[in-house]
Structure 1
Amino acid sequence: MLLTKRFLPYFVTQCLGALNDNFYKNILLLLVTFSQVQDLPISVDLFVNLAAGLFILPFFLFSAHAGVVADNMDKAKLIRQLKLLEVIIMFSAAIAILNGNYMMMLLLLFLTGSQSAYFGPVKYSLLPQALQEDELVSGNAWVEMGTFLSILIGTLSAGILIFEDNGTQWSAMIVALLALLGYLASRAIPALPPQGTIEKIRFRPLSGTWRSIQKARQTPSIWMAIIAISWFWFLGATYLTQFPNFTKLHLHSGAAVVSLLLGLFSIGIAVGSFICERFSYGHVELGLLPFGALGLTLFGIDLLWAIPPVPIDASVVYGINAFITQSQHFRVMLDFFMIGVSGGLFIVPLYAFIQSRSAKGECAQAIAANNIMNALFMVVSALLSMLLLGIAGWSIPQLFLLLAVMNLGMILYVYSQVPEFILRFISYLLSHVIYRVTVTGREKIPKLGAGIIVCNHVSDVDTLIIMGTSIRPIRFVMEQSVSERPLLKSVFCHAGVIPICSPKQSDTTYNHAFEAIHEALSNNELVCIFPEGRVTSDGALGEFYVDIDKILARDPVPVIPMALKGLWGTYFSHKDGQALTTIPIRFRSRVSVTLAEVIDGHVANKDSLRVKIASLLGK
């Protein structure tokens, strides 16, 4: 995937853009801070804060418009136009750097932020269109790795170069060259035309921002994913902002150690991104999200106890060599690295989830809403830091501890709002920790539109195993007695489970189930049924009692036959009695999920479907 034409030119383009943004921003701040400050019409402190504000302001003003633009034109063409704009901005910036025109550089920083605000939605919405479904997580992992390493290289190289002889001249040349290379790379991106209905594009900065957020909130799972991503940027912005003072005041170290910790944090995110790609097994996997969230809390708390004691000689300032050779600093370095790893595990599944769940032709608008919220959370992080560290007199370690505790609260909130996230975590543990699940034919599940999954019923955890095969939400038709179990009733209710029973038990419940199935299929949802009507008591495929023919007569939608193998005899099956009543003797059992070709609902019936599933089971 990496070396394909549909990904590599885009990847190079976005890496060069992130590198140039951060290189230019840091060059500007370092020039203002360390040279010719008397030439400024405003104070250095005001200039630095104004620069930060002007860079982030465009994300509030233009992200909503950028999302609509990206969804309604060829994405490759839009990227080339944006990169050409970057060339103009950066060639102007090169002239301003050479002339020492800091106020012009400040204006160009605002334009750079504006160009980034328009690039953000197309940067992420391009992936689900250019990549296969099983490449989406891998693509996001490469993007996150490239972005954070570009931020790291841009920040460090600016700090090194600006103090060298002819550093100003070299800086001017580099910003222009990086912009030009980015434009040339963008020309190799293949055409990516709009996927949805073309809308009329209106420029409404403030009302458009609010409308974009309101639209994202209409889908609770996407909205909670946006909140979680924005929370990560809240954490990241706070850590990155406090690195210098934390290193100076509590690690008694110099600027080189700041760069070291920044490097560990950024490399950690890259490593976490690829751990996520490795353990997602080729599809979007929200089950990894709690591992990243837990790591952010645990290593954030551990950082408080990892701070070494104050040196006997208070005047000691550790250089990078002295810092990394002393064992008392190993734990601090490990914590910052693992916070980054946890961040990578946390953020990659969320971006992939938004891309896969967004309506066709609206992905860029969802990313735009995400960028708006990211910017808002980063502003709030700055305000909170100023309030606690300045007015309240807190120390930086106390702030870091608060972040770790708040992270736990935020994740509990997100999971309480979207029970599907909880179920997918449980599904992941079942599929990859308790069992070893392999899926064959995952691509058979329709990406859009209504469909019915028909599967044999082997154990009490079949629904959770099946859930892990599809990033699309599935409405399960479940035996009423199971759906009303005390600890799970609320979760099943929020997950949209459809309870059913025999008409002899309750004619009302039976009829209501078929109405709910009809409504779900009319809404283009996926529905899964177990036609046997109950969990097998002998491991064999039983007769199909649930009237699939009745469903298809009313809604002849595509049918996806599915077979579960390997669950019989495990702790959650009914071999030798009810599930959970025997001593577990099999661990890490191999379980297979096999999907057959989709069958036209007009020709499918319960007998032919039973024969098909029996053939998948090898019977």
Structure 2
Amino acid sequence: MQGSARLMRQRQFLPLFATQFLNAFNDNFFKMAMVMLATYVILEGGEQEEAYYNALAGAIFILPFFLLSAIAGRLADSTDKTRMIRLIKTAEIGIMLVGATGIWIQNIPLMFLALFAMGVHSTFFGPIKYGILPQHLADDDVLAGTGLVEAGTYLAILTGTIAGGIVDPHTAAIGVIVVAVVGRITAQFVPPAPAEADAPDSKVDWNIFRSSWRLVSDTMHVRRLFLAIMCISFFWAIGAVLAAQFPPMVKNALGGDNTVATMFTAIFSVGVATGSVIINMILKGKVSAKYSPVSVLAMAAFVLMLWWIVKGWVHVPDSPLDGDTLLNWREFLAIRRGDMILVALLGIAVAGGMFVVPLYAFLTTTVSKSETSRTVAANNIVNSGAMVIGALAYGAMAAVGISIADTLFLIAAGCLISAWIAQRLHRACEEVPCPDDPEVTPVR
């Protein structure tokens, strides 16, 4: 197996890695800039309005994944994936022009329009960035490549989040356009990835509900794929709730300013990237769900740790919080137990990365190369449905007065369900090796 560093020097991988990195960076640069602008400048309705806005923003971005992933997966498997990447990155430039205008004039509907369009853009890019790996990499390099893509995604989330959280809105408006242009340039260097010989014809069913149902049902009837997709979906539902919580939790439950919210998301991103690398080293290139159950149990333990700290935060003595003054990141870290929150966040993220990366690699190695994008697309449909439900459920819980701390307790309970499913997947893979699974039939 080639090392991760060696993959980063290959033309078969580096341009794709750079393009997907810039894609994830810009998504989060724009989202964080608009969330911070709304939370700390535009909105004046208090905790419930801010929580609802953040949940709605998450749902708007994820909704296209639910509606359009079937079409995206079909196109990706039946055409040259590299050609699609270039078209998608060209569209991003126009989308960011709209988003930049919304940020510049502080117009929430315009920012939501661009956010939805970025969701559409990422819906079509998502199946490609994982589905192209088996075409460009050797079989025993797919896990390493998947881990690098996942780690790169979260490092991009980290840097994009930091940029969106601390950069002046007018500067952010210009920055998202520049990043989109650079991403289009790197896309030009991705090697061709033509459709496989046994790929489906290019006819697309544009009925989004029928095509989505058909794709999901054709994929989920395979027991191991069903279990893997359900595990990943629980992970992303939990992630959607946590992401929606960060700004209102920091401001209203912990008394922190935008620099603290940025630090939280940054710590989370570093943790997932770290977990992605660690699990690849432990598994040594073998695609396996062996460590997924224990990883998600560890994740639940750290979520409970975060719940315990947030629940008792108001009782922390010697807090410099005074009246309506918000803590910056230095003041936050000076508070006793402030560093414990960061440990909890890091633990959640590292465990989450170790849990989810092997499952993504499993999806792309279990089926034939001509079906990888559609398998990822089916996964995206179920994941996005879970994320939308999670984000909207969080918004509803906030609307009826359920505290942020109590929602963390419910997240820990969700982790237990995910651990149970992951254990079933591991047992199923022990019975018959998952790659080369005779149950896997073509996705139609």
**Quick check: TM above 0.5?**
yes
Match of 2:81 among 75, 79, 86: 75
Change beyond 3 A, Cα 1:99–1:380: closer
Contact between 1:133 and 1:283, CA under 8 Å: does it hold in 2?
no
> Would the aligned equivalents of 1:293 and 1:408 in 2 still touch at CA under 8 Å?
yes
Verify the 8 A CA contact 1:357 1:472 in the aligned structure 2: yes
- The question of 1:410 aligning with 2:418 is answered yes
Q: Tell me the residue number matched to 2:270.
A: 267
Change (3 A) 1:216 1:180: same
Structure 1 partner of 2:353: 344
Look up the match of 1:181. 182
Worse-superposed segment, 269-278 or 27-36: 27-36
CA contact (8 A) 2:151 2:276 kept: yes
Query: What is the CA distance between 1:54 and its match in structure 2?
Result: 3.3
Contact 2:273–2:350 at 8 Å: present in 1 too?
yes
Superposed displacement of residue 109, structure 1:
2.7
Greater mean alpha carbon deviation, residues 264-273 or residues 322-331: 322-331
Match of 2:329 in 1: 320
1-side partners of 2:406 and 2:38: how far apart?
A: 31
Residues 1:401 and 2:409 aligned together: yes
- Aligned pair 1:148/2:154, yes or no? yes
The DSSP-based 3-state class of the residue aligned with 2:190 is coil
* Post-superposition CA distance 1:167-222 (Å, at most 9, x none): 41x22321221111111101101111111333222322111111111111121111
Contact 2:157–2:266, Cα closer than 8 Å, also in 1:
no
Question: Which stretch has the larger CA shift, 139-148 or 266-275?
Answer: 139-148
4+ residue stretches of structure 1 with deviation over 6 A? Answer: 43-49
> Structure 2 matches for 1:156-235, cutoff 5 A?
156-162=162-168, 167-168=169-170, 170-195=171-196, 196-199=198-201, 200-235=203-238
Q: How does 1:31-50 map to 2 (within 5 A)?
A: 31-32=37-38
Map of 1:287 onto structure 2:
290
CA–CA distance in structure 1, aligned partners of residues 12 and 268 of structure 2: 30
Distance of aligned partners of 1:355 and 1:385 in 2 relative to their CA distance in 1, 3 Å threshold: same
Alpha-carbon distance in structure 2 between the residues aligned to 1:258 and 1:36? 17
Could you tell which deviates more after superposition, 194-203 or 248-257?
248-257
The 8 Å contact of residues 268 and 348 in structure 2, kept in 1 or not, is answered as yes
- The letter of the residue matching 2:330 is N
Mapping of 1:230-241 within 5 angstroms? 230-241=233-244
Could you say what the CA RMSD is over the residues aligned between the two structures, in angstroms? 2.9
Task: Specify the alignment match of 1:298 in structure 2.
Answer: 301
The answer for the alignment partner of 2:121 in structure 1 is: 115
Letter in 1 for 2:200: I
1:379-458 matches, cutoff 5 A: 379-391=388-400, 393-416=401-424, 419-421=427-429, 423=430
Q: Work out the number of aligned pairs and report it.
A: 423
One-letter amino acid of the counterpart of residue 225, structure 2: I
Aligned to 1:28: 34
Structure 2 partner of 1:333: 342
How far is the alpha carbon of 1:108 from its aligned partner?
2.9
Unpaired runs of 5+ in structure 2? 1-6
Identify which range, 336-345 or 120-129, moves more after superposition.
120-129
Tell whether the 8 Å contact from 2:19 to 2:187 is kept in structure 1 after alignment: yes
- The answer as to whether partners of 1:302 and 1:335 remain within 8 angstroms in 2 is yes
Q: Name the CA distance, whole Å, in 2 between partners of 1:35 and 1:328.
A: 29
Letter in 2 for 1:394: I
TM (norm. structure 2) is 0.86
TM-score by length of 1: 0.63
The structural deviation recorded for 1:394 is 3.5
Give the distance between the partners of 1:68 and 1:242, measured in 2 at CA: 34
Taking every aligned residue pair, what percent have the same amino acid on both sides? 32
1:248 to 1:71, Cα distance in 2 relative to 1, 3 A: same
Amino acid at match of 2:428: E
Change (3 A) 1:189 1:210: same
- Tell me which of the two structures has the higher relative contact order, counting C-alpha pairs closer than 8 angstroms and 6 or more residues apart: 2
| Residues 149-171 of structure 1: CA deviation (Å, up to 9, x unaligned) | 22222222122112xxxx41x22
* Inter-partner Cα distance in structure 1 for 2:51 and 2:232: 30
Q: Which has the higher strand share?
A: 1
Shift of 1:288: 2.0
**Corresponding residue SS for 1:279:** helix
Question: Of Structure 1 and Structure 2, which has the larger fraction of its residues in helix?
Answer: 2
Q: CA 1:321–1:75 in 2, change beyond 3 Å: closer, same or farther?
A: same
Question: 1:240 is matched by which residue type in structure 2?
Answer: A
- The structure having more radius of gyration, on CA atoms, is 1
Which residue number corresponds to residue 4 of structure 2?
none
The residue type equivalent to 2:131 in the other structure is S
Matched AA of 2:394: S
